[in-house]
Every structure is written in C-alpha cells, then in structure tokens.
Chains A and B, each alone.
Chain A
Amino acid sequence: MSGFPILSLMLAVPLLGALACLFLEAKAARSVALVATLVDFVLGVILWMNFDIGGAQWQFTERVGVFSGFSYALGIDGIALLLVMLSVFLMPICIGASRSIEKRVGEYMAAFLLVEVFMLGVFMAQDLYLFYMFFEAGLIPMYLIIGIWGGADRIYASYKFFLYTLLGSVLMLVAMLWMVHTAGTSDIPTLMAYDFDPSVQNWLWLAFFASFAVKMPMWPVHTWLPAAHVQAPTGGSVILAGVLLKMGGYGFIRFSLPMFPEASAYFAPLVWGLSMAAVVITSLIALVQSDMKKLIAYSSVAHMAIVTIGLFAFNTQGLEGSMLVMLSHGLVAGALFLCVGVIYDRLHTREISRYGGLAINMPRYALFFLLFTMASIGLPGTSGFVGEFLSLGGIYQVSTGAALICTTGIILGAAYMLYLYRRVVFGEQKNADAAAMPDLDVRELLMVVPLGLAVLWMGVYPESFIAPMRADIAALDARLARAKPAGDSAPTIGKAKPAHEEAAAHEGSH
C-alpha cells in the first residue's frame, strides 16, 4: 500500500459525508453518515492489515508542503494505529445510536462526521501545528452537539466544555511556539528525539499538562466531564468517552513523555498524587450518584486516572497497560453509555430509581449490560482486566504506595458498578412503565454485539492489540530510561542468589 494516501482518504470520506449531510433530508443524512463511517471502518481494517508490525516506526507517511509555517504531514505508528482503529470502530455505532435524534438530523450527522475527521487527524498528524489544529477543531462540532441536541442543562454544559478545554489548549500552543522556535522544526518525530534544556522542560511540560490534564480529564479539572456527558445525546456521550478522552492520554504518550523525559520524571509524583486522589474521590462520588450517566462519567475519570498512573510508571508494563486501559475504556464506557441510551430512549429518564428488575422483561439487555459492567470492573477475561493489571503492575515497580491506593479503585469500581447493576437490572419491578419496556431490537443488538465481542477479544487474546505497539512502547521506554525515577519496591523477583550462597545451600541440603 506504499504511496497510496490511505490516511488522507480516511479523513476525506467523513469530511465529504459531513458536507453532503448538511444539504440532505433526515433519512438520507442518516444513510450517508452510516455509509461514510462504515467505509472509514473498512479503510481502517485495511490499514491495520497492511500495518507492518516490526517495520518502520512511522508508516503510511504523507507530506505535502501546501502551507507556509506548517506542513500537511500524516503518518501513524502502532500507538496511533490502535487509537485510529478505536475511533473508526466506534463511529458507526454512534451513528446507529442516534436513531432517537429527531430534530435537525442533517446538521447532527454533519457535526458527528466532522468530529470523526478531527479525531482521526489528531492521531494521524505528524506536524505539531497540524496536531494542534485538529486537537482544537474538535471543540466546535462537540460544542454544537452538546448545545443543540443535549439535555435540559445543555447550554451550561456546552460552555463549560468549550471554555475549559480551550483555556487548557492555548497554553500548550505557546509552549509549541517556543519549542518550534528552539528546535527549528515542527516535525513531531524529530521533536520526539530532540533534547530540550531540562530547566525549560518543566515549563513546557506544565503547559502541555494544562491541556492534556483537562482533556484527560484529571482530578481536579474533571468537572466539565460529568456536565458534558450527562447533557450530551447518547451518541455524543459514546464518542466523548470513547475517543475524545483518549486525546489526553495520547498527548501524554506522544508529547509529554518523549519530548520532556526529565520534566516528566520531575512531575511524576504530582501525577501520581492527582491520580490517587482521582481514583478514590471520583469512585466515592460515583457511588452516590442517582443519575446513571453521571455515575459512568465519574467512573471514566477514575479509569483515566489508572491510565495516567500507568503512563508515569516509566516502564514498558505501565505504558502498555495504559494503552490497553484506554482502548478498553473506549469500548466499555462507550458500551455502557449505549446501554444507558437504550433504556433512556424507552423511558426518557436517567434516574436509577425509576428502573428495576429489567432482567425479567429485558433478558438480552441484562446479559450485555452485565458483560460491560464486568469489563468495567476489570474481571479477568474481559478487556478491563488486562490493562488495569499491567498498569498497576507497572506502577508497583516504582511506587508501592501509589499502587496500593490506586488498586482500591478496582474494589470501589466493583462496588459502584455492581450497585448500579443491582438497582437497575435486579430486584423487583417497581415501576410498571419500566417493566413494560421491550427488549433489545435488531438495531440495538447490532450495536452492542460487536462491542461485546471486541471486549472479550481484548480480554482473552490481548496480544493482537499489544503487538502493533510493542516496538513503539519499547522505543519510548528506552527514551525514558535516562530519567526513570528510582523505584521504592526494587523488584527482586527472579534475581539469582550469589554463587557461594547457592553452593552453601546446596551443600546444606545434603
């Protein structure tokens, strides 16, 4: 496939779809959007099949110098490939989940397809400024999606989402300007190998942190997320949780860690502290929510904290673990929002207490909801387990304390998810209208079955997902090696005993 601009094609398909949707009737717009996202998914599969594992670090590169000041440069490595796949996999599902949207369908579909263009652009960009443009541009369609099609409190949520993330990003842009001025290039692969002066790194790291921490979102700048999630329509929530949150983690892994290794090590305790706080605090907050979407939103913050803790463990295990948590959370949180959307479409409330006993009238729904609940908790065999285990294992090598506190997140996670599941699906059927709800129809099954299969695939055979990124993670780990903080749990497992002791022990046994 060398030479064929498949990445540009993947950006062009939804873009053209978006323009077409603006001028189409509701029904036609739905079809166009679905076709465009499915075509993009097929292209994504072709991309994955042609991705040469163990080959060059950057593949499918394209570079066209049509602009002054920055270049249109695309290319992916294994890390980007996986996130691109996640995006194109979730998009058709989001379009399918938008059946309940009745007003201004054409504009809705156009906004969604634009979100897809910008998300993919973020993961594909090989130029710092191009990355920034895609990164920011996603704000406009998301703002419109939340503001036009959102719930009752949508205006406040849309403002909060927009201004919060914008403020974080502009500081990053100033840092980018300085970096390009100093390094003399805006090419991301070159910058990833460029050694900035350690004294300046701290400032640059903080500027990038301001942006990525908000996008992630990390405690205490996470407050936009529950507002945005709760108010967004189902499709919006899925894409927000599924992919947009991954931009922060991708930013850390692509920029903060390789470009500022010393600063990352210097600020690692800060990240650990915030992550520990996030895991415990947001899990406890999730425990007392009476709104289903809010509960899952807070659980997202807790899961993202596991991602950051793994990223700043400075070892292969932690990095691979966080990538897997990101992928798994993309699938699972997306699926959970979908499950909420399914019953919201029927009863038009997200109050947990309005439901109950759904296992009786919606057995298929109960089955899938259970699968995703377990995956969210991190049950072995589901995708959640692999990533969380690796992340926590990674951080354990560096800080036992952080590992201890973050692991409580798994327990608390089990508590709030099982509590949610019990209240919604088990128990008696208190409400007649909830008891009369029909089970999943074919359209809904078509959405949840692929998600369920992907969750199980990632849980049973994670190698498919680790293989493409293994070389890239190893390269990143090598880059971080010089700044790696000393671990407090210096692993001794498997260390051979000194020879004479072994000999003495050997003799003693006789």
Chain B
Amino acid sequence: MDWSHSLRLIAPEETLSIAGLVLLLISAWGGDKASRLISILAVAVLVGAAALVAPALCGGAMGPDTSAFFGQFRADAFASYAKILIYLSAAATLVIAPAFFGRLGAMRAEFPVLVIFATLGMGIMVSASDLLTLYIGLEMNSLAAYVLAAFLRTDGRSAEAGLKYFVLGALASGILLFGMSLTYGFTGTTSFSGINAAVAGGLSHGALFGIIFMLAGLAFKISAVPFHMWTPDVYEGAPAPVTMFFASAPKVAALGLTMRVLLDAFGDQAQAWQQIVVFLALASIVVGAVGAIGQNNIKRLMAYSSINNVGFMLVGLAAATPQGAAAMLFYLTIYVAMTLGGFVAILMLKDAEGNQVEEIAKLAGLSRTRPGIALGLAVVMFSLAGIPPLFGFWGKFLVFQAAVDAGMMPLAAIGFAASVIGAFYYLKVVKVMYFDEPADVVKGESDVWHKLILTVSCVFISPLGYLLTKWLGGLSGTAATALFFAS
C-alpha cells in the first residue's frame, strides 16, 4: 500500500482534475471565444479517461489491489463500468451542447469545465469505499450540477431550476450527512469494510436509523419516490443538454453509489434495507407512471420516465444478489442509451425560428413532416415502455429475473403489472406523432452530431442490441462480482 500504487489507481481522476484546471485557465484567458476549443479538448480528455479505466473493467480488477489510500477509494471493475457510462454521457452532452447554447448566444467557456468537474465528482462517487470519499464526490458533482442547471442565465425557468435544485439538494445532503454521522457513531468507523465488520453481529437501532437517513439522502439524488419532487421542475427548467446530462450521468453515479453503500457496507444486513428499497422501487414505478400521464411537456414527461426507470432498476437492488447488481448495471447501460437518444431527439425538435418545441401536442403528425426524428423518438418510447423486441425490454427482464431468482415473486408481479401503466403515456407520444394530423410546427434543421448520436443510440436499443447481450452481460457480471468481492 504505497503512494505510487494509490496514485496509479486514481489516474483517471488525476487526468480529469488536471485537465479541468488547465481548461479553466484556458477559459479564463481565452474567454467565450475559446469555448469550442475547450469543448473539443474536454471530449478528448473524457475519451482518454475512459481509456484509462477500461483495462480495469476488461481485466476484471477486484480485491485488495484495487484499494487506494488506505481503503478510501476503490478502482475496481464495478467503478470502471460505471465510469465508462458516466464519461460517455458527459461526452455526448459536450458534443450536442454547443449547437443549443450557440443559438441562444449563451455558450460560455465554463460549460465544458463544469461538466468535467461534475464528471470527476461522479467518478469519485462510484469509486468511494469510505463515507468521507462518498461525500466529497457527491458534493463535487452537486456543486457543478447546481450551476449547470442555472446555466441559461437569461431564462427565468433555468434560474428557478438551479435554485430549486440547490435548496433541495442541500437539504438532501444534510440528511445524508446526518445518516452518515449516525452510522459513524454506532459503528465507530467511516470505511465501508469497517462498517461491514462492525454490523456483522447485527444492526443496532442507531445504525439502522443511519441506513434509513442515508437512503433518504441517496433517494433524493437518484430521484426515487418519495424524494422525487424536484425532478420534473429541474428537468423542465434546465437547458435541454443539461437535462440530458442530469438524466444520464448523475443517475449512473448515484445508483452506483447506492449500490456500494448498501451491498458493500451493509451487504450482510440486506434484510434491514431490502424492504425500504422495495418500497422505493414500487413507489417510483407507480408514481413515475401515473404522474407522467397528465404531462404536456415532453421534458417533464422524460423526468417522470426517469423516475419510473429508477424504480425498475431498484428492483434489481432489492434482490441484493450479484445477479441483481449485474442486471442493474446492464439496465443502466440501456437506460443511458435510451436517455441520450430521447433527449437528442427532443433537442432536434425546433420550430421555424429555431426555438425548442417542448409541447407534446405540437409534435402532432411528426411522422409525416419529420419521419426520421419521429421514428427515433418512437423507438425510444417503445423501448422505454419495455416492449420487446426493443432493447429496453431486456433491462426490465434482467432486473425482474434477478428478483424472481431471489424469491421475490410479489415484487416482480406488481412491478410488471405497473409497467403497463407506464406503457400508456409512452404510447401517447407515439400516438401524437403517428396518428394525429400534422401540426407542422417542427421545421428546424439539426446538425450532424445530433443525427449521429440519435442513430447510434437507436441502433443500440433496436433488436440488434441483443447481439451485445453476451459481451455486456459478461462485463456487467464481472463488475457485479467485483462489487461483492469487495465486501
């Protein structure tokens, strides 16, 4: 356990932080004119960081060798899997953002820098193996995210979203800290392995309250019901590329973190938190589905959809098995692809003046005026609804399979039945696009990057995605094994 070994393990984080600082300096001297250059450099840095974490995933890194800084940080296959998803989402955000902000004259050099720092924070979150590392990563991500939500300074809705996100996020952080302090007080340690050893003989009441408060805080970050209220407002108000970022990368990070805390630190006390997770899962599925029905704004609809999807992923967590964890990771991969595809399609909806079209009613007849976008969005919607043969089905299938194999039949039956409610509003979008008479509002042209990302994600969630099940299944299985090996 020497310093050079630890420093080698955190190479991706070092890369990101140094690059972030350098880019910050470039932006300070270059001004907003340099924003394009900074975006390109930031994407390059993210690709480089992904290349640095990939070997740990492919090699199936796990065990004591992956632990850095005396158990503070863990760079194993699980962290690598999550990080690759996070870097991918961040890179996609940076690729599509300039077109959006450029039109509003709001593209600023700080944007890529903020995304880089948020990504750094998320990387630390999924690698945390100590409550303090966890908190540092979480806050690093959150502080950048608050600014990103309010990035469109001239837009009142964006400022509102930033403020709401900040106030509620700070409250959730407070709750999380309270839970952490209770856990520390009753177990005498902040490291996950120490907590695991301390609660091995059974949970004290204090530690149980610690779990509950920590889960409440984490549920806010992953926007699980009943801590989801901020999500629709923030998603609607934040600029669309930022919403896409929020819906993808931080979800991966926060879910990865939750998995670490529950399966690593409290892995042997699963029965203590399982029922809480079951409640969060079912409540998210139902509220996410029912809440979406009345929405007229497509971004709000996607917000409820993300709540709904988080519910499905939590089903895998409730199983508390390596299979469940692998299923969650697989689902997260598909979810990221669906989210990127969905939001890019939404970004491509522009009227003649180039303003974003967000009202669902204005998409009427899109299949005739813009067949490409309509097809893409329809594929995403059917996939989110989990209708085979689209790939979204496979994610749901895996988490429910894990639940059934863990003997949780009622959870699987109720969850699946509730997914039918969700299908209703996804169908509504398809109905508006395909069945209604054209409103012919969407006229704007999109740049090639949007089309590329939409195409790639649609191909991934099309039936062709099933060809990847062996490969991705193997990787997510390795990652889940690493997570359980750590505990």
Chain A residues with a Cβ under 8 A of chain B? 66-69, 104, 107, 129, 132-134, 136-137, 139-140, 143-144, 147-148, 154-155, 158-159, 162-163, 166-167, 170-171, 173-174, 177-178, 181
Contacts and interface: CB of A to CB of B under 8 A. Distances in A.
Contacts of B409: 174, 178
CB-CB nearest 7 A-B residue pairs: A133-B388, A170-B416, A68-B473, A177-B404, A68-B469, A68-B470, A147-B435
Contacts of B420: 163, 166-167, 170
A133 B368 CA distance: 29
B484 to A, nearest CB: 19
A133 B469 CA distance: 15
Contact of B423 (A148, A166, A181): A166
Given A69-B473, A137-B387, A137-B388, A174 B434 contact: no
A140 B378 CA distance: 10
Interface string B430-443: 11001100000000
Interface in B417-455: 417, 419-420, 423-424, 427, 430-431, 434-435
Interface centre among A162, A170, A178 (most CB of B within 10 A): A170
A136 B469 contact: no
Contacts of A166: 387, 420, 423
B401 interface: yes
Contacts of B473: 68-69
Interface of B: 367-368, 382, 387-389, 393-394, 397-398, 400-401, 404-405, 409, 412-413, 416-417, 419-420, 423-424, 427, 430-431, 434-435, 466-467, 469-470, 473-474
Contact of A104 (B368, B382, B400, B404): B368
Contacts of B382: 140
A132 B388 CA distance: 8
A132 B435 CA distance: 27
B417 A170 contact: yes
Nearest to B412: A174
A67 B393 CA distance: 14
Contacts of A107: 367
B416 A163 contact: no
Contacts of B427: 143, 159, 162-163
A67 B468 CA distance: 7
Q: What does DSSP make chain A's interface, helix, strand, loop or mixed?
A: helix
Nearest to B416: A170
A372 B401 CA distance: 47
Given A68-B473, A173-B397, 7 more contacts: A67-B466, A67-B470, A147-B435, A170-B419, A171-B417, A177-B412, A178-B409
A429 to B, nearest CB: 38
5 contacts: A66-B470, A67-B466, A132-B388, A159-B427, A170-B420
A171 B424 CA distance: 17
B467 A66 contact: yes
B413 A174 contact: yes
A114 to B, nearest CB: 10
Nearest to A147: B435
Given A66-B467, A147-B434, A163-B420, A174 B398 contact: no
B389 A155 contact: no
Contacts of A159: 424, 427, 431
A347 B398 CA distance: 51
Contacts of B398: 69
Nearest to B375: A22
B123 to A, nearest CB: 28
Contacts of B368: 104
Given A67-B466, A139-B387, A171-B416, A147 B431 contact: yes
B85 to A, nearest CB: 19
A129 B394 CA distance: 10
B404 A178 contact: yes
Nearest to A166: B420
Contacts of B431: 147, 155, 158-159
Nearest to A210: B417
B469 A155 contact: no
Contact of A140 (B387, B394, B400): B387
A460 B474 CA distance: 57
B434 A148 contact: yes
A42 B398 CA distance: 39
A170 B400 CA distance: 11
A148 B435 contact: yes
Contacts of B394: 69
Contacts of B474: 68
A370 to B, nearest CB: 37
Contacts of B393: 133, 136
A109 to B, nearest CB: 15
Contacts of A170: 416-417, 419-420
Contacts of A155: 431, 435
Contacts of A174: 400, 404, 409, 412-413, 416
A218 B318 CA distance: 36
A148 B393 CA distance: 24
B423 A162 contact: yes
Nearest to B402: A177
Contacts of B387: 136-137, 139-140, 166
Contacts of A162: 423, 427
B404 A181 contact: yes
Contacts of A158: 431, 435
Nearest to A207: B413
A67 B470 CA distance: 6
Contacts of B417: 167, 170-171
Contacts of A143: 427, 430
A113 B435 CA distance: 20
Nearest to B389: A137
B388 A69 contact: no
B192 to A, nearest CB: 30
A66 B393 CA distance: 17
Contacts of A139: 387
Given A140-B382, A148-B434, A173 B389 contact: no
